[in-house]
Amino acid sequence: MLALNYAMEHPESVQSLVLIAAQYRMPKRTLRLQNILFRLMPKGMFSQTGFSKEDMISLCASMTDLDFSGSLSKIRCPVLVVCGEKDAANLRASKELAALIPSARLEIIPGSGHEINLDAPEKLSELLRDFYQTA
């Protein structure tokens, strides 16, 4: 979301962009469920995130209204959108995202879930190398 926002607000400063399992508008139901779970979790579970429990809940709540749909056309650099074939939470959004950005190319990694870097590191590396050689 941060990279998308920066590329939309400063298109002249971004030469290329890779978005992996990205969202362009926040899934409200998922964030609400996540916030409920965060409220139920003990504070100690957040110690390795760098955020307090309260900060994490506040951050998630602040993100529920983010929607970049109307501004994605501002991105002019080459964009690679990558998603795992089995990433149910992000596959639809990745396809939509690639369709909404004029300069985007979509790559779906067969057999991979959300963590493409762990599920298919060689394929991801190959895609990145090829993209950056032509971008």
Q: Dump pLDDT digits (tens) for 3-33.
A: 999 999 999 999 999 999 999 988 788 888 8
Distance CA 89, CA 23 (A): 9
CB 72 within 8 A of CB 11: no
CB 81 within 8 A of CB 19: yes
- Read off the DSSP letter of residue 135: -
- Residue 96 burial class via C-beta count within 10 angstroms: exposed 0-12, middle 13-18, buried 19 and up: middle
CB-based contacts of 44: which residues, under 8 Å, 6+ apart?
A: none
Handedness of CA 5, 8, 10, 16 (dihedral sign): positive
Distance CA 23, CA 68 (A): 9
% of the chain beyond a pLDDT of 70: 100
The pLDDT-based confidence of 135 (bands split at 50, 70, 90) is confident
Average pLDDT over the chain, rounded to an integer: 92
Q: What is the pLDDT of residues 74-105, one digit of tens each?
A: 999 999 999 999 999 899 999 999 999 999 99
Q: What is the pTM for the complete model shown? A: 0.81
